[in-house]
Amino acid sequence: MKPVPLHALLRDIRACTICAPVLPHAPRPVLAASECARILIIGQAPGAKVHASGIPWSDASGARLRSWLGVDDAAFYDEEKFALVPMGFCFPGRGPSGDLPPRPECAARWHHDLLAQLRSVRLTLLIGHYALRFGLGAASGKTLTDTLLRWRDFGPQVIPLPHPSPRNIAWFKRNPWFEADVLPTLRERVAQALSAPAEDIKAG
């Protein structure tokens, strides 16, 4: 079957209502993608703030993520640099212990077609449990920390990351190796991916 062009796919995603019967609000898919994006960030799902703004990662988690990557807002929101693709495009609502998991319908329906269109991606960042399972499959460890401790095994084009949410402050404190070991390499690989000449990307 002929692949759906990205602009048509994004139009269809933005009109998607598959989860309307189970979401606590009208669907509002939040993502950003272009064929030229060099770095793909697969996150979890929008939270309430991102749902309200319609802008991916426009919250405290996004601010921490940008500081991890060593990029400013202008670079982060440049669709020719970053594709921002959560596991669930719509805010799933809140449960007893925080936001609910991303809706599983989303990856099942959209991600194969969407990721196939992101042909310039040089680096993929998998953020949080759901993205790790999606991106690494059986190579994912028993726990998020098990997987993250083996971050070097998945490189150089894939880096698994914890979710930068303020709710994970205790994890960051318990795992100082993440900041000391992973972040310098992460920043280096982000800078390399962003500085790759366009002709290299087209040829790759």
User: Would you tell me which residues interact with ligand SF4 (CB under 6 A)?
Assistant: 13, 16-19, 27, 29, 88-90, 103, 105-106, 109
Pick between residue 13 and residue 41 the one whose CB is nearest to ligand SF4. 13
Write out the two tokens for 33: 């993608």
Q: Which is nearer to ligand SF4, 29 or 135 (CB)?
A: 29
Q: How far is the CB of 94 from ligand SF4 (least distance, A)?
A: 15
CA angle 179, 124, 145 (to 5 degrees): 45
Give the distance from CA 54 to its chain's centroid: 15
CA–CA distance, 63 with 182 (Å, rounded to integer): 18
**Per-residue DSSP letter, 32:** B
According to DSSP, the β-strands at 39-42 and 123-127 are: parallel
Q: Closest CB to ligand SF4 among 106 and 148?
A: 106
Question: Phi and psi dihedrals of 57, rounded to 5?
Answer: 55, 30
Residue closer to ligand SF4 by CB (options 20, 169) is: 20
Q: Report, in Å, the least distance between residue 9 CB and ligand SF4.
A: 12
Q: Which is nearer to ligand SF4, 4 or 18 (CB)?
A: 18
Distances (CA, A) of 86 to 112, 132, 150, 200: 13, 12, 23, 27
Q: Closest separation between CB of residue 46 and ligand SF4, Å?
A: 9
CB of 101 to ligand SF4, least distance (A): 11
Q: Taking the complex as a whole, how short is the minimal distance between the CB of residue 6 and ligand SF4, in angstroms?
A: 16
